[in-house]
Structure 1
Amino acid sequence: MANSTPRIAPAGDWVETVAIPDPNPALADRPFQALLIASQSRYEAHRHEHHSEMAVLIQNSQGLQALGNISLPWQPDHVELIIHKVHILRRGTVIDLLAEGHEFTVLRRENNLESAMLDGVLTAMMQAEGLTVGDVLHVAFTLRRHPGALPLRGENAFAMAHGAPVRRFHVRQIWGPDIDIRWRATGMMEQARTRRTRHGTELVLDLMDAEGDQPPDQAPTRFMLPALLQVSGYRDWAEISSQLAPHYARAAELSPNSRLRPEIERIAAASEDPAARAMAALRLVQDEVRYFAVTLGDGNYLPATADQTWIRRYGDCKGKTAVLLALLHGLGIEADAVLVNTITGDGMDERLPQMILFNHVIVRARIGDATYWLDGTRSGDRDLHDLASAPYAWGLPLSEAGAELQAIAYAPPRLALVETNITYDASQGFDDLTPTRFEMLFRGDSATAMRAALSQIGREAFLRHYRENEGDLPGQDVEIVSVDLRDDEEAGSFTVIVEARARLTFRPAPGALSRRYRFGNDTISWTVNLDRREGPWRDAPFTFAIPDHLAGTETMILPNDGRGYSIDGESFDRIVAGVRIARRIELAGGRAVARSTFQRIAREVSASQARADLAEIERIRNDAAYLRAPISVGARPSAPARVEPDASAERLVDAGYEKMGAGRTEAALADFDQAIRQQPDWARPHANRGIALIHLNRLDEAERALTTAQRLNDEDFVVHQGLGFLNLRRDQPEAAIPSLTRSLELDPGNMFTTGLRIDSREQLGQLDEALADIDVMLREEPRHAYALSRRARILAHQDRRDEALEAIDAALASDPGNFMFAITKGDLLVRFGRTEEAARAYDAALGMMGVLAEASGGEAPVDHARMLALMGRTDEALAAADAHLRRYAGAVRMLAMRCWIRAWANLAIERALRDCNEALEAEPDHEEASSARALVHLRLRRWSAAIRDFDTLLRYQPYAAHAYYGRALARAESGDADGAARDFATARRHAFDIDALFVRIGLAHAADQDPADQGTIVTNR
């Protein structure tokens, strides 16, 4: 190689001196400052010269480390490297390293072998000896390019990057009258101007304190270069196309005895379908010719022949394209080579034609009316339909007649690149861990990446990763049974299969007795941030770094062939911000299935469209779909989820919250206590501990815990939620509301907090405000059963009868099988004087209770007996209680219920008292037994005993309106008029229709009895 050693020589006389400016004081904190970047080029018919000069100020040790090694690469086949100066400028002194005898060392190591490339580039290197902080390193050199197999055309490009300011940026481009050069500039580069000099035409750009604009976030790649200066000697794209086309045509010609001819015959014999033939040809090139680029000499632009590449069994994009063209032509398929840019190609149509803009070549194949884009350097392509698009916006077909740029339309892959399929076999029910099959199927590039990972770490390590990461799988208490792989080369897919057992979580539906399983939303959950700085590019289109196509399916095989199960949620298929997001949910054949799709359908989307769709994207992300179970599912408490011995404080708080929601308050308290021991300065476990203590009626301890939490963090919504809850339990609703309101300011829409504020407002008679809070809950969750039920009661309180019945019907529709709502409907109908309809509602409630009784192991019969008593069917109620006690002798709840039935009906009161006493001997603090015995004592006119039992009950049920009312009756008869008045007021605050209950059973105080209320009934018992 004639140019294998750099020459040391002065710069050509055509190069102008460019003065180095003083540093910019505002950049003194940077590791270094680029004081001068100067590029001067001269374009002649027989050679091109590119003179480069830089002067950099070293400002700290980091900058010294980065710039102390001078490295100048060049390709000696057609380029000379001429070094002019290596100076160190130090406080007015010039240290000339070249004059002092310092030499460059030429490295002949291939820099890109790790990228499977042999480019022949040499590198001249020198350590800048003596360079220190405060010095300016000043280097100048010229690259002189000579013609190769392709004619010389002047071309160059200059861009200013954001974050790399240059004190002086100087460009000078020169061409004579016999050279045709065009130029184009954008952004700050538009300041470039031409002038006529003795050298010819000169294009000059001289900028001070130059720095490129910051590109807009998530914009197409053409916005990466907002300031660009191009120089080109090509008159149009067709010239580049016609210049390269003959070389590819010759490279694709096969010799008479070519080894590719038998391959063509084999493919042709296998199928007459052109599409199948094209796919077979592409697969042969992808699978049988490994990628290795040889860009020595003109190899950077010109392909090796197809025969040569096939014999070598390696090639770069050009050689692989030649082989693919030869195969397709031999199979009678029209095909052309197409140049593309893999980085910034989407702005190609806005730029001057330049050869240097292309860095890759693919094949355009035409079959019938369809066009396909085939890339021999890829691997794993199996579906020709997916190749109707390519990841490049523009391509330049090569044609001897010349061709213009062609737009390459975007189309998403037909099949998902990552597809998740989960199947739960719950055919035997949900009491135990559910057998689960988890499959993650990868296609295309995703499959290739998985195979690469497998080959890198080995099969056993690969499988172990999945065996040891059960936390990545859905469900709780996951036990992995087996892990396997399926690599289908023919289909081009790679599948990971995990067999496991997991506990599926059915959480209570909002305000409902029934429970729901939430289908996964990962596939369609898309979080988009459209924030951009103000400026000229704020409204640039968006292109998102998202997968092209994802799919997910959850299938649950249900017990009892799916009887009693239903779907909560909607199917949809929407296009938002250039993405199709779809979900289809169905329940049929004993299976509940949720299918989700996320599919990009456009490379980019306008800023206005993206912003207009943002709310819909968020709505989709939050639009959960559920499988609602019969009321029997969850009637038995499930085993608590395991908490790891070394669980973090965050995990303990989450586990405690789950347990508290499931009614396991003591266990939740233990988790919160452990979290506090691990992280005592974190407010959240203290606040949750306070709430748990409120549930346990340990109010003084709760106050201390919440005070600690507030001291640690007064901005935690749980702190104020707990303080409001505490005040409400202390029967101080007016004090509760400010805390609850503050909590909602910190965590808007929190259902539990909103429910507490509704309770407070209803107690204070602020019924319109309570309804407004309910409306907020229903906007968030239109089927929120509790909110609908509360709405019905408040509307009844306001005597808005039709609206009240509509609300309770909506509650029943949202939670089918909830016998409490059916009872409430009956109560309302009785209050409204519609007794026949009320009887039907109560009968419906009895039927629902029967379903629950089958699944609850003996608990629901207690409520069933109560319902019979409330309906006036006392004999049936007592018979049901007797039958239950014969089967479950000494069952405390049923003893208390049989006591209550007789007290309610004022029947055999002494026998009722014996049942209550027996129950309380077994469980002295039993709330239902205390309540029933208090009623017995009222019947027996034992006022002091009644007051004691109501006191006991109110310690555990501070909201129990009937306890306040019963105690008021006892206090009134005992002569405590003030105490009675307070209790009557409190009872009516908690239940506006409490008087009707006691009127109905003949125990209302004479002063409070209203004949108009005869025959009414309430729900707060």
Structure 2
Amino acid sequence: MKRASVYRIAASATALAYCYAVQAGEAPRYEAAPGWVDAVSVASVDRGENNDLIVSDQQVRIEDGLRWDYHDRVYRLSDVKDMSDIGTLKFQWLPDKGDLIIHEIVILRDGQIINVLDQGKGLEVLRREQLLEMGVLDGSLTATLAVPGLVVGDKVRTRYSITLSDQALKGDVQSQIRLPRETSNAKGNAISVMLQGRAAPEADYTRVMVSWPVSMDVSYKTSSSVEISPPVTRDGYQWLEIALPLPAADPPPADAPLRYRMPPTLQVGTFANWADVAQTMAPYYFTKGSLDGLTDLADKVDAIGARPVSTLEKAVAALELVQEDIRYLLNGLDGGNYIPQSVATTWRLKYGDCKAKTVMLLAVLDRLGIEAQAVLVSTNLGNAVPESLPIPGAFNHVLVRAVIDGQEYFLDGTSVGANIAIIGNVPPFEYYLPLQEDGATLTTIAQTLPLAPEAEMQLEFDGSAGLDLPVLGSVKVMMVGPRAVQINGQSDKAKEALANGLASNMGEGTQIIDTVVEQGADDSQATLTITGVFPPLFKFTENRGEFTPGRMAKAAQFTPNRSEKQWQDLPVSVGRRTSDIYVMRAKLPLDSSELDVKGKLQFEAEAAGKVFSRKVQVVGREIEFLEQVTSLGGEISPEQLPEERRKAAAIAREKLTFSTPDDAPRRWRFAGKTDRSALQPLEDAYAKAIAKKPDEIAPLEARARFRIATFDFAGAAKDLSAAIDIKASAELFQQRAEMHIRMRDWASAKADLESAYALDPLPPTGMRLANALAHLNQLSQARDLLAQQSGDTDAQRLIAFELAELDAIEGDKDAGLARIEDVLAESPSDPTLLNAKCWFIGTWEVQLERGEEACRLAVERGKNPAQALDSRAMYHLRAGQLEKARADIEEALQLAPWQAPSVLLRGLIKLKQDDATAEQDIADAIARQPDLVDTYSRWGFAIDLAVDQP
């Protein structure tokens, strides 16, 4: 066995002349298989129990400039769906390059061989341009046959050949065959195989065999991970046979360069080297005399040449001419898969593929006196091109390389958006092959000029209303090149969809007021501007808010996995070359001198194939932030990985953070206030968002959330009512019920919760309704409703807590505590249950001696320490331990300053301590959550802002 590489079989001193004339046909031929075919005996195939693909055999003969592909497929129909999928056979071929030859179509049934062709059933030929909507007219024909009389259990065998002699290759031949590995999904893949005529990923018998005369100069190559036996000589031919499927192999990591991730493939060709390929293809791109007789086109070119601009600007204008005046259509008819149509034809038809556009652009540039040549590239092989056998099939695209003022530029006539700002950006292909008469070799595409960004994002935010309130602002995306052309050409609906998608990335609660797309000097420039309401700049954790502009930390993430032994020598692909600019200008609610600034205002570094830069200016309440991340492309070697990981991690830590002081003003300063003038700009913005989408509930819900956050419960209820009128839901009824509760309107809350329960009769809704009934002193109804509830363990616990509350309200506090302890007995270490016991003992002031241990354990074990500390503070207050109560509630509010009940409890504790600030806390808490008056009255607290009478 040999490690697969490139093998070249020596030819005789005199190469064979190209003497085979293709008798290509528009109709299938029906002939016996050629004598060189080694037919498979189906009876001798060792069948797999669960595999319906029995045979997948492909044999290729290369001779006299012709490639003959013989296929043998045998498939068992195991169900009715197979009869539909497999029962209609399809064969595709290129009639200008070869023939479809049908050797055999039979049904194998219980030892019988039923010849379908003997039944007078021939194939129907139709031209199926399946890719026409993608601008592809490939010239292929498709022949179909609905196999008659099939029943489940039949085996369908098709043996056919497709010949190909590509007139563009001048007698040379190439072939590329996918070599499947073992897979667990044999049947699903096999169906695709039968329909499309490809080598099966897995079958009971799978084989690929290639043969050619010993006198021919033929090369072959497989992937480096594939081992095959060398060809053997028999009857004057070399025979290369590969038994399939190949053994299963672990896939390489997704960030490995593409050459390591290519599927196993056998390549066979008669080209000597890359120079041979270049010499063969070069004549098709000679343009001398191409503009003769095309007066109107020549006049356009001469007008470009007469402009008083630089040579580079003229080249951009020439590229724009080809991109915009000639629409894209790949015309593969009459040999066009490799042979470009003439400039005259392209100009007359006003369409052409990459070949036609390249020839036309070369002719135009030549008339302008600009040095240029055609180059072959691959849009999908990337850095795997050098691993390929030297064949034209290694490429699937052609464009122009121009040299202007000593600098090379790659000009793609099939792209759009020609613009001088980005003309120096190289395309995302890693290698090219120049097409020139004296031959050429593969060349790396290098980015020699600075990489210009194709998009720049600018954000303008006004956060002056508050640290934890939504902000007004705009998001502007300025695009140059193909993306600009695309958006300029979109419908208003599509533009709005794009804006909505961008807005969704700005954070939950974003509401769009307006979307505008403005075209620049031409369609290669576009600016998308979104104005609206966006999430708060500052995100709060506990009592501290942080504003962290920029996305550098995310862009710097570099965590390639090379833990597997077989991966350790693999480099890491950085990806394509890109450059993004991110600009933010924001008005802050506080002067920057009041904020704690951490991180570097000016920063630049390089790591993991990217260059990072940050420039920030802060003056008073305004900040201007500019960040640029440029990906250099290429790859990082295994030896570089540790250092690049370290550098990337260091950059990820280089966050710029603006932190608030602990006593910074928060949204609850608006609680109970009649003056909301500072919030009016936000109110106006939400009104515009609602007016923009009057039939949608999302803008109404967004304003309701804003009003709830700023303690306008009546306004929020009004918005929720409007949303309910559009589309009622249990969730909306529950939200409005919550607003009625805040306003202490328990009767309206009950009505809404009854509507919600009718729509969503689940335990949480039932428990909320029961609570409202209890506040209306309808205790028996509340108990009956709770008795009807069921659910999982968590639901049963919550129901028990509600029943314990009813026990206490009805005067039996001990029964309520016993009910909670019964639940706790099932999970004595559960911190949630311990907290429930602590809270119940404290609020109802029952059996205080049993509360201390439960309260301590709830605080120590709980996942929500603020809630547990609040419960223990209540317990300490009832037990007369005021200092402990004060310490617990202060800590709770440090963790969760938004908890209005904790503010109230602190006020009650202060009142006991004769603290002069007690009344302010009580007033603040009631302003935030007025219904606390009703709830705390259950527990014996009479709150009139001054007197505590427990």
C-alpha separation in 2, matches of 1:574 and 1:402 = 42
Q: Which residue of 2 aligns with 1:677?
A: 765
Q: Does 1:486 align with 2:486?
A: no
Q: Which residue of 2 aligns with 1:600?
A: 631
Summarize deviations over 1:897-941 as a string: whole Å, max 9, x none.
9xxxxxxxxxxxxxxxxxxxxxx9xx97469956xxxxxxxxxxx
Q: Does 1:193 align with 2:230?
A: yes
Q: Does 1:266 align with 2:286?
A: no
Which of 321, 328, 334 is 1:297 aligned to?
Answer: 334
C-alpha separation in 1, matches of 2:612 and 2:730 = 36
1:410 touches 1:603 (CA, 8 Å); kept in 2? no
C-alpha separation in 1, matches of 2:458 and 2:824 = 45
Summarize deviations over 1:160-190 as a string: whole Å, max 9, x none.
3454323222222222233100112236742
C-alpha separation in 2, matches of 1:723 and 1:549 = 58
1:215 touches 1:223 (CA, 8 Å); kept in 2? yes
Which of 249, 266, 271 is 1:234 aligned to?
Answer: 271
RCO comparison, higher one (Cα < 8 Å, 6+): 2
Which of 160, 163, 182 is 1:144 aligned to?
Answer: 163
C-alpha separation in 1, matches of 2:405 and 2:740 = 64
Aligned in 2, Cα 1:689/1:533: closer, same or farther, shift over 3 Å?
Answer: farther
Which of 622, 625, 628 is 1:591 aligned to?
Answer: 622
Return the letter of the residue paired with 1:112.
L
C-alpha separation in 2, matches of 1:708 and 1:443 = 69
Question: 1:284: Cα distance to partner?
Answer: 1.5
In the TM superposition, 1:831-870 aligns within 5 A as: none
Q: Which residue of 2 aligns with 1:347?
A: 384
**Which one has the bigger helix percentage?**
1
Q: Does 1:373 align with 2:410?
A: yes
Which of 570, 575, 584 is 1:554 aligned to?
Answer: 584
Q: Which residue of 1 aligns with 2:37?
A: 15
Return the letter of the residue paired with 2:52.
Q
C-alpha separation in 1, matches of 2:872 and 2:481 = 54
Question: 1:602: Cα distance to partner?
Answer: 2.2
C-alpha separation in 2, matches of 1:718 and 1:568 = 38
**Superposition TM-score, scaled by structure 1 size:** 0.63
Q: Which residue of 1 aligns with 2:91?
A: 72
In the TM superposition, 1:270-419 aligns within 5 A as: 270-383=307-420, 385=422, 387-409=424-446, 414-419=451-456
In the TM superposition, 1:808-819 aligns within 5 A as: none
**3-state SS, counterpart of residue 341 of structure 2:** coil
Question: 1:681: Cα distance to partner?
Answer: 5.5
Aligned in 2, Cα 1:561/1:692: closer, same or farther, shift over 3 Å?
Answer: farther
Question: 1:498: Cα distance to partner?
Answer: 2.7
Q: Does 1:183 align with 2:215?
A: no
Aligned in 2, Cα 1:710/1:758: closer, same or farther, shift over 3 Å?
Answer: closer
**Aligned residues: CA RMSD:** 5.8
Q: Which residue of 2 aligns with 1:49?
A: 68
C-alpha separation in 2, matches of 1:581 and 1:658 = 48
Q: Which residue of 2 aligns with 1:901?
A: none
In the TM superposition, 1:220-231 aligns within 5 A as: 220-231=257-268
Question: 1:87: Cα distance to partner?
Answer: 1.6
C-alpha separation in 2, matches of 1:407 and 1:185 = 23
C-alpha separation in 2, matches of 1:199 and 1:618 = 65
Identity of aligned residues (%): 24
Question: 1:415: Cα distance to partner?
Answer: 4.7
C-alpha separation in 1, matches of 2:257 and 2:214 = 38
Return the letter of the residue paired with 1:239.
D
1:171 touches 1:204 (CA, 8 Å); kept in 2? yes
Return the letter of the residue paired with 2:657.
A
Summarize deviations over 1:671-725 as a string: whole Å, max 9, x none.
999892299858999999999999xx99999999999999999999988888899
2:488 touches 2:523 (CA, 8 Å); kept in 1? no
C-alpha separation in 2, matches of 1:710 and 1:616 = 50
In the TM superposition, 1:158-169 aligns within 5 A as: 158-161=177-180, 163=183, 164-169=201-206
2:313 touches 2:420 (CA, 8 Å); kept in 1? no
Q: Which moved more, 1:556-565 or 1:269-278?
A: 556-565
Q: Does 1:637 align with 2:687?
A: no
Q: Which residue of 2 aligns with 1:780?
A: none
C-alpha separation in 2, matches of 1:352 and 1:147 = 18
C-alpha separation in 1, matches of 2:831 and 2:352 = 63
Aligned in 2, Cα 1:506/1:219: closer, same or farther, shift over 3 Å?
Answer: closer
**Superposition TM-score, scaled by structure 2 size:** 0.68
Which of 129, 141, 144 is 1:122 aligned to?
Answer: 141
Aligned in 2, Cα 1:652/1:176: closer, same or farther, shift over 3 Å?
Answer: farther
Aligned in 2, Cα 1:490/1:128: closer, same or farther, shift over 3 Å?
Answer: same
C-alpha separation in 2, matches of 1:412 and 1:523 = 27
Aligned in 2, Cα 1:525/1:212: closer, same or farther, shift over 3 Å?
Answer: closer
Aligned in 2, Cα 1:621/1:714: closer, same or farther, shift over 3 Å?
Answer: farther
1:411 touches 1:602 (CA, 8 Å); kept in 2? no
Q: Which residue of 1 aligns with 2:114?
A: 95
C-alpha separation in 2, matches of 1:448 and 1:523 = 31
C-alpha separation in 2, matches of 1:609 and 1:269 = 51
1:177 touches 1:201 (CA, 8 Å); kept in 2? yes
Return the letter of the residue paired with 1:335.
A
**How many residues are matched?**
783
Return the letter of the residue paired with 2:34.
G
Return the letter of the residue paired with 2:527.
T
Question: 1:5: Cα distance to partner?
Answer: 1.2
In the TM superposition, 1:934-945 aligns within 5 A as: none
Question: 1:278: Cα distance to partner?
Answer: 1.9
C-alpha separation in 2, matches of 1:606 and 1:723 = 60
Q: Which moved more, 1:13-22 or 1:559-568?
A: 559-568
Aligned in 2, Cα 1:468/1:402: closer, same or farther, shift over 3 Å?
Answer: closer
C-alpha separation in 1, matches of 2:838 and 2:46 = 59
**3-state SS, counterpart of residue 429 of structure 2:** coil
1:542 touches 1:606 (CA, 8 Å); kept in 2? yes
Q: Does 1:628 align with 2:665?
A: no
Q: Does 1:249 align with 2:269?
A: no
1:434 touches 1:502 (CA, 8 Å); kept in 2? yes
1:251 touches 1:305 (CA, 8 Å); kept in 2? no
2:862 touches 2:868 (CA, 8 Å); kept in 1? no
In the TM superposition, 1:526-925 aligns within 5 A as: 536=566, 540-543=570-573, 548-558=578-588, 564=594, 567=597, 573=604, 575=606, 577-580=608-611, 584-588=615-619, 590-605=621-636, 613=645, 620=652, 625-626=657-658, 628=660, 631-632=664-665, 634=667, 636-637=669-670, 639-641=707-709, 676-677=764-765, 735=854, 893=920, 925=942
Q: Which residue of 2 aligns with 1:436?
A: 473
Q: Which residue of 1 aligns with 2:193?
A: none
Aligned in 2, Cα 1:422/1:719: closer, same or farther, shift over 3 Å?
Answer: farther
Q: Does 1:156 align with 2:175?
A: yes
C-alpha separation in 1, matches of 2:571 and 2:829 = 38
Question: 1:499: Cα distance to partner?
Answer: 2.8
C-alpha separation in 2, matches of 1:99 and 1:194 = 38
In the TM superposition, 1:962-981 aligns within 5 A as: none
**3-state SS, counterpart of residue 266 of structure 1:** helix
Gaps of 5+ in 1: 745-749, 764-784, 791-817, 819-858, 871-876, 882-890, 898-919, 931-948, 953-1021
Compare CA radii of gyration and give the structure with the larger one. 1
Question: 1:519: Cα distance to partner?
Answer: 4.4
**3-state SS, counterpart of residue 276 of structure 1:** helix
C-alpha separation in 1, matches of 2:306 and 2:893 = 70
C-alpha separation in 1, matches of 2:58 and 2:921 = 96
Question: 1:132: Cα distance to partner?
Answer: 3.2
